[in-house]
Amino acid sequence: MTSLLAHPTTALFLGAVLVAILKGQARSVAALVAPLLALWLVWQVPEGIVWQTHFLGVEITPFAVDRLSRLFATIFSIMVFSGALFSLNQTSRLELPAAFVYAGSAIGVTFARDLVTVFLFWELMAIGSTLVIWSAGTRRSYAASMRYLMVHLTGGVLLLIGVTAFIAETGQATFGAMTPHSVGTWFILAAFLVNAGAPPLSAWLPDAYPEASWSGTVFLSAFTTKTAVYALLRGFPGAEILVFVGLFMVFYGILYALLENDMRRILSYSIVNQVGFMVTGIGIGTEMALNGAAAHAFAHIMYKALLLMSAGSVFYVTGKRKCTDLGGIFRTMPLTAICGIVGALAISAFPLTSGFISKSMIAQAAADRHMTVAWLLLAAASAGVFLHAGIKFPWFVFFQKDSGLRPPEPPLNMRIAMILLSVVCVGLGVFYEPLYHILPYATDYRPYTADHVVTQLQLLLFAGLAFFVMLGWLRRTLTISLDFDWFYRRLGPALVRIAEAVIEAGRAAVRTAVFDTMRAVGAWLVARHRPDALLARTWSTSGMALGVMLILLAYLVGFYVL
């Protein structure tokens, strides 16, 4: 039990309490120290099982350390620190504590070696992240957070069914490599994929993330999807279906991002795209591929946070989020623009950036397994990433036409956070050995060969050429693109409205028995449960007594007949 004090999650949960209580300087100190303490703890705890106990009749291992968990816990801790630094001047009192709970739960998942604990932290993560979105405090963010919670509660239900079924099937709850061949494992896989932003329930991500505050989105981008990547890495390495799911996500992300006008929605679609690369890697399943997926998750958290920080800074100083309203602001925000470009180069996997040394491992793994089609699709997707995130984001936000906006640079703490992450993105691209050293499997992969550098440059630069040549096709319009969330935001309510309209029309027409029945059926659900409805209203005593008699009669008849 005392080992719980050494759990990095404890540090972040305590930090959440402190940040919620304290004010001013003390709050800032707590916000920065708690993540660093967590990071220190991640590297203090020895590998192996730290704490094991019994819960709900099964043996659970809430705290165990190995290379994979340490890798993810490390990047998560670094991410909380950067995010906290960036959001020090956030006025919402709720957001930072919520983000700490959210991140602490994500770290909790990485150290859990049993499915029950995974589920507990999984749910807590959903609550924490919902609060982060909610704390933006706008009507839109409230509605979006409710839709987000709905999807994640559904995911939680899937996971709970999966975990209980898994325990019923196997009699134990160990979280290790599984293959999706039983009902339980299929449900677990489905729940993981919901959080990874996989189809068909991927729309929650671009729907909800851009509605968070300028700093909230930075936190959101890091934990939910990457915890799912971690869970897939541990639970389903080499599950072939993931190759197809991943490739779908990659292109879904690109195409939707190309159509998008809201800068943070562009980056949200790009998260789906990037997670798609990782999921594909997990599906390929060789040591090289799994290393690549893990490394890519590590690198991605840094550069995606950097991109969203630069977008968040623009949103913070201008209050605008649409590409059509922005442009030309590199004049007064050169630092933000440069940091944004560094992030854009890193996500595009330009040589000397973190994306280059991580993503290429996944492609290499596809090549090693002679998966020609997958390799070609990944290459095309790499070009596509440069297109939608690498150029499109900085071009339309900072350059293109002059919007006339002359906003100042953001406050100091935000600038420091961006510079810090820019250094990390480039630093990882140049000094990649330390990262390779902490990957789950030992590797002697060398990313910088003349061949690799030249071909990658060709691919990316000609993708850039395509962008500028076809710029007219990419003109921003005041539009959004329909996604799966249309089904629950529009189709569902519309069906209800249509049903109501039909019923009303029927009633207005001849009030025949047929129409009355239809109406009764249509209004069944709501009407029955209103306070004045049959089931809810206070019954007359004789009515109740009659009901009891009828039920007794039914029992008796039933027993004698059957």
Kindly tell me which residue out of 33, 143, 190, 352 binds other proteins, with binding defined by CB under 8 A: 143
Find the part of the chain contacting other proteins (CB under 8 A) among 197-205, 298-306, 339-347, 366-374.
366-374
Q: How far is the CB of 140 from other proteins (least distance, A)?
A: 6
- Binding flag, residue 555, other proteins (CB under 8 A): yes
SS3 239: coil
- Binding flag, residue 548, other proteins (CB under 8 A): yes
H or E element in which residue 503 lies: helix 492-508
Kindly state the number of chain residues that form the binding site for other proteins, as judged by CB under 8 A.
Answer: 97
- Binding flag, residue 490, other proteins (CB under 8 A): yes
**First-to-final CA distance of the chain:** 56
- Binding flag, residue 442, other proteins (CB under 8 A): no
CA distance 154 to 195: 10
Q: 481: alpha, beta or left, given left = phi > 0 and alpha = psi -120 to 50?
A: beta
Backbone angles phi, psi at 54, to 5 degrees: -115, 140
Q: Which of 319, 422, 340 is nearest to 82 (CA)?
A: 422
Q: How far is the CB of 473 from other proteins (least distance, A)?
A: 5
Find the part of the chain contacting other proteins (CB under 8 A) among 2-10, 12-20, 94-102, 158-166.
158-166
Contact 313, 85 (CB under 8 A): no
Residue among 79 and 254 whose Cβ is closer to other proteins: 254
- Binding flag, residue 367, other proteins (CB under 8 A): yes
- Binding flag, residue 437, other proteins (CB under 8 A): no
Q: How far is the CB of 88 from other proteins (least distance, A)?
A: 26
CA distance 313 to 328: 15
DSSP E strands, 220-317: none
DSSP 13-27: HHHHHHHHH--HHHH
Site for other proteins in 230-259 (CB under 8 A): 251, 254-256, 258-259
Kindly tell me which residue out of 32, 33, 352, 474 binds other proteins, with binding defined by CB under 8 A: 474
Residue among 28 and 182 whose Cβ is closer to other proteins: 182
Kindly tell me which residue out of 478, 509, 510, 513 binds other proteins, with binding defined by CB under 8 A: 478
- Binding flag, residue 477, other proteins (CB under 8 A): yes
- Binding flag, residue 491, other proteins (CB under 8 A): no
- Binding flag, residue 523, other proteins (CB under 8 A): no
Kindly tell me which residue out of 412, 454, 496, 501 binds other proteins, with binding defined by CB under 8 A: 454
How far does CA 476 lie from the centroid of its chain? 26
SS3 114: strand
Q: How far is the CB of 455 from other proteins (least distance, A)?
A: 4
CA distance 337 to 560: 82
Report the DSSP beta bridge partners of residue 51. 63
Site for other proteins in 307-336 (CB under 8 A): 322, 328, 330-331
- Binding flag, residue 4, other proteins (CB under 8 A): no
Kindly tell me which residue out of 155, 340, 384, 440 binds other proteins, with binding defined by CB under 8 A: 384
Interaxial angle between packed helices 287-318 and 216-235, expressed in degrees from 0 to 180 and rounded to the nearest 10: 170
H or E element in which residue 55 lies: strand 48-55
- Binding flag, residue 402, other proteins (CB under 8 A): yes
Beta-strand relationship, 58-65 and 48-55: antiparallel
Q: How far is the CB of 558 from other proteins (least distance, A)?
A: 8
Contact 476, 324 (CB under 8 A): yes
Kindly tell me which residue out of 119, 214, 223, 277 binds other proteins, with binding defined by CB under 8 A: 119
Residue among 430 and 461 whose Cβ is closer to other proteins: 461
Site for other proteins in 177-206 (CB under 8 A): 183
Find the part of the chain contacting other proteins (CB under 8 A) among 19-27, 41-49, 509-517, 540-548.
540-548
Cis peptide before 200 (omega within 30 of 0): yes
Tokens (6 digits) for 189: 């896989």
| Number of residues assigned to the chain | 562
For residue 215, count other CB atoms closer than 10 A to its CB.
30
Site for other proteins in 59-98 (CB under 8 A): none
